[in-house]
Amino acid sequence: MKIQRRNKANPEFSLAAMTDVILLMLIFFMVTSSAANQSAIDVKLPKTGAVEDNIPNPLTVSIKPDGSYFVDDSPVEKAQLEQTIVNKLANQTNKSFTIRADENTMHKDVVFAMEIAEKYKFNIAIATVKDK
């Protein structure tokens, strides 16, 4: 006599719950990644007409109008700026940094940071904001 089970296991798998979780994770990472690139140093960036895609750099050098330098939001003396940048980029594969200079910063202060990049063959990006 053959006995049959009443309840058979259903081998189907619903992807609806997994889709919801993936969507929530995507939203979370998009929001946090846009906020992660902000710096605490308050500088007014110069305006530009054309803005290309933002390529994040591992290091940010901020320059205030009074000529003070900040590396990743930490104040650095002008004499130690070169060594600080070289030390922070020593283990990086992408040897580049972003210069965030206030629109009223003297040209010589920005050129000083650019000369460090030229000396060590680092790539640089200059941060701007899109003109409205």
CATH architecture of 59-129: 2-Layer Sandwich (3.30)
Rounded to an integer, what distance in angstroms lies between the CA atom of residue 64 and that of residue 47?
16
For the stretch 37-76, pLDDT in tens is 566 667 777 676 665 655 666 789 999 999 999 999 899 9
Model confidence at 32: pLDDT above 60: yes
Whole-number CA gyration radius for the chain: 25
Answer whether residue 5 shows pLDDT above 90.
no
Q: Where are the alpha helices (DSSP H) in the chain?
A: 16-36, 78-88, 107-120
* Contact of 54 with 112, CB cutoff 8 Å: no
How much is the pLDDT for 68?
95
Select the more confidently predicted residue: 66 or 7: 66
Residue 34 confidence (pLDDT): 64
Give bridge partners of residue 124 from the DSSP assignment: 97
